[in-house]
């Protein structure tokens, strides 16, 4: 009877209780159903999931590189204020999620709103730090076999290099496995709340299915596993992308390599990534000038971290602004350098890309005509002043003033003729031209004063 009573209680009485709670709204059941979730070809989760073909963001976003069989999240039974059989998120879990920030980013990059698939790396309450290409949790380095390369995790605008961040309760830090080509918590996404997550692949379910391309991590914490950039290889890959976008190839210029090296040193020394060199005072223009490089257009991209050529291309092309910059058709020359050191006691490396180029100027007709009129005026008055030398007695008395007037006329004529010639031939004015323009008003005032003085004597 006792055995029969237990069976009766569990199989007859409990369903009645559950039904009553369902009717009254106290019981919520989320079944752990598995769904087939498409993975876009962006490559942010490579090597766990494959990459798509090409480098166009929108095209890659439209490609389906594979599928992830993911469990709906959250799952379990909520009975009153208690939860039963619910899954607790673990480090290494792969999750899909969406929120307003993700919608905004995907709309901008891929043309339509969608969710993201990333890996949970930081858990609620933990201290999260990125240093020397590694992730540290509560000051302990993580060994991560699923990442594309060792020493490949670097900071962004939200989680900066070498600065610890406390993860709030009910929030996570998620990263892509392809750390150099992933828009994730380090950047615009920030923390991901548990309520934003809709599916999960637990880490213990990934073994034997998703770990086929994971790495041997035996040397991950060693210096020998640090990545080095091949600058010439990077330029080859960059030129391929420039050609695809209809722009000419860049030429490698050792002077720009030298200027990049000088800037890298100063960026690290003063922890000054600003283009204006606010702290160091050592600007891009100064570095190029000291390296013997002169041009009308120049640009710089400083990157903190360790990159192979392919990775750096992926990283730069992950973000619309940097992609647009490096394929800019106005650039002709290129150089790159890297420098290892520390920023506020944090070991790191700076890679600096330098670009130079030439674009012919377009001067308005009114501007050119005004300079031509000035030139004609100077040429008209010169003969009269030269003629004064024939009046020997008058010239002897006023030689200093007359010679100075002729000197000013000759100098201004030469400089104005040079400017007119450059403008008519669509050439840029250089520093000496600009200095003359700045001083010409004073020369004109001096010429007017001397002319008035001499003319008063004549009249």
Tens of pLDDT, residue by residue over 274-311, are: 989 999 999 999 999 999 998 989 999 999 888 889 98
Tell whether the model's pLDDT for residue 9 goes beyond 50: no
What pLDDT score does 345 carry?
Answer: 82
What pLDDT score does 23 carry?
Answer: 38
Q: In angstroms, rounded to a whole number, what is the distance separating the alpha carbons of residues 11 and 3?
A: 12
Label residue 226 by pLDDT band (50, 70, 90): confident
What is Dmax (Cα atoms) for the chain? Answer: 147
> What is the torsion angle, in degrees rounded to the nearest 10, for the CA atoms of residue 320, residue 326, residue 331 and residue 333?
180
What pLDDT score does 415 carry?
Answer: 97
Q: Which CATH number fits domain 231-357: 3.40.50.1820, 3.40.33.10, 3.90.79.10, 2.60.120.260?
A: 3.40.33.10
Backbone angles phi, psi at 400, to 5 degrees: -60, -45
Give the mean pLDDT of 9-36. 45
What pLDDT score does 27 carry?
Answer: 42
Number of helices and strands in the chain (H, E): 13, 18
What pLDDT score does 25 carry?
Answer: 41
Give the mean pLDDT of 27-31. 46
Q: Which CATH number fits domain 28-225: 3.50.50.60, 3.40.1520.20, 2.10.109.10, 3.90.105.10?
A: 2.10.109.10
Label residue 318 by pLDDT band (50, 70, 90): confident
Structure letter (DSSP) for residue 196: G
The per-residue DSSP string of 404-443 comes to HHHHHHHHHHHHHHHHHHHHHTT----HHHHHHHHHHHHH
Tell me the C-alpha to C-alpha distance, in Å, between residue 307 and each of 22, 228, 393. 55, 6, 79
Q: Which two tokens stand for residue 219?
A: 């040397």
Give the mean pLDDT of 200-206. 96
Least confident window among 108-112, 298-302, 342-346, 430-434: 342-346
| Tens of pLDDT, residues 229-279 | 999 999 999 999 999 999 999 999 999 999 999 999 999 999 999 989 999
Mean of pLDDT over the chain: 88
Tell whether the model's pLDDT for residue 11 goes beyond 70: no
List helix spans (H) across 271-319: 284-290, 309-318
Tell whether the model's pLDDT for residue 79 goes beyond 70: no
| Tens of pLDDT, residues 94-136 | 999 999 999 999 999 888 899 999 999 999 999 999 988 899 9
Where are the chain's structural domains? Answer: 28-225, 231-357, 365-456
- Residues with a known catalytic role: 44, 118
Give the mean pLDDT of 361-378. 95
Do residues 27 and 79 make contact, with C-beta atoms less than 8 angstroms apart?
yes
Q: At a CB cut-off of 8 Å and minimum separation 6, what does 246 contact? A: 329
């Amino acid at each position: 009877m006792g055995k029969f009573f237990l069976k009766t209680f569990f199989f007859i009485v409990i369903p009645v209780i559950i039904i009553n709670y369902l009717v009254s709204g106290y019981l919520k059941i989320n079944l752990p159903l598995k769904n087939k979730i498409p993975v876009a070809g962006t490559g942010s989760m490579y090597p766990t999931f494959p990459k798509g073909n090409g480098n166009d963001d929108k095209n890659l976003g439209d490609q389906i590189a594979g599928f992830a069989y993911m469990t709906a999240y959250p799952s379990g039974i909520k009975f009153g204020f208690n939860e039963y059989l619910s899954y607790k998120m673990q480090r290494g879990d792969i999750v899909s999620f969406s929120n307003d920030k993700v919608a905004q980013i995907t709309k901008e990059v891929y043309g339509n709103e969608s969710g993201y698939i990333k890996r949970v790396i930081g858990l609620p309450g933990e201290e999260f730090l990125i240093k020397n290409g590694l992730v540290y949790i509560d000051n302990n380095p993580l060994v991560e076999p699923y990442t594309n390369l060792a020493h490949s995790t670097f900071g962004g605008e939200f989680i900066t290099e070498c600065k610890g961040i406390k993860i709030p309760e009910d929030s996570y830090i998620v990263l892509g496995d392809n750390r150099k080509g992933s828009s994730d918590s380090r950047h615009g996404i920030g923390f991901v709340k548990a309520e934003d997550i809709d599916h999960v692949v637990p880490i213990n379910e990934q073994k034997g299915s998703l770990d086929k391309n994971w790495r041997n991590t035996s040397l991950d914490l060693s210096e020998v596993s640090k990545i080095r950039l091949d600058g010439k290889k990077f330029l080859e890959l960059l030129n391929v992308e420039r050609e695809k976008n209809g722009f000419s190839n860049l030429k490698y210029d050792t002077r720009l390599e030298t200027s990049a090296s000088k800037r890298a040193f100063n960026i690290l020394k003063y922890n000054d990534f600003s283009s204006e060199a606010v702290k160091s005072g050592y600007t891009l223009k100064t570095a190029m000038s000291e390296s013997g490089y002169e041009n009308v257009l120049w640009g710089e991209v400083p990157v903190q971290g360790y990159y192979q050529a392919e990775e750096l291309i992926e990283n730069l092309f992950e973000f619309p602004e940097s992609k647009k910059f490096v394929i800019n058709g106005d650039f002709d020359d290129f150089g790159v350098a890297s420098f290892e050191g520390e920023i506020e006691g944090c070991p790191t490396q700076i890679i600096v890309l330098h670009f130079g180029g030439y674009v012919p100027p377009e001067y308005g007709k009114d501007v050119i005509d005004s300079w031509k009129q000035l030139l004609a005026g100077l040429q008209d008055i010169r003969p009269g002043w030269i003629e004064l030398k024939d009046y020997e007695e008058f010239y002897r008395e006023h030689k200093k003033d007359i010679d100075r007037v002729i000197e000013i006329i000759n100098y201004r004529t030469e400089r104005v003729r040079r400017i007119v010639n450059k403008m008519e031939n669509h050439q840029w004015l250089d520093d000496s031209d600009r200095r003359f323009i700045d001083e010409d008003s004073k020369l004109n005032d001096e010429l007017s004063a001397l002319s008035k003085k001499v003319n008063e004597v004549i009249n």
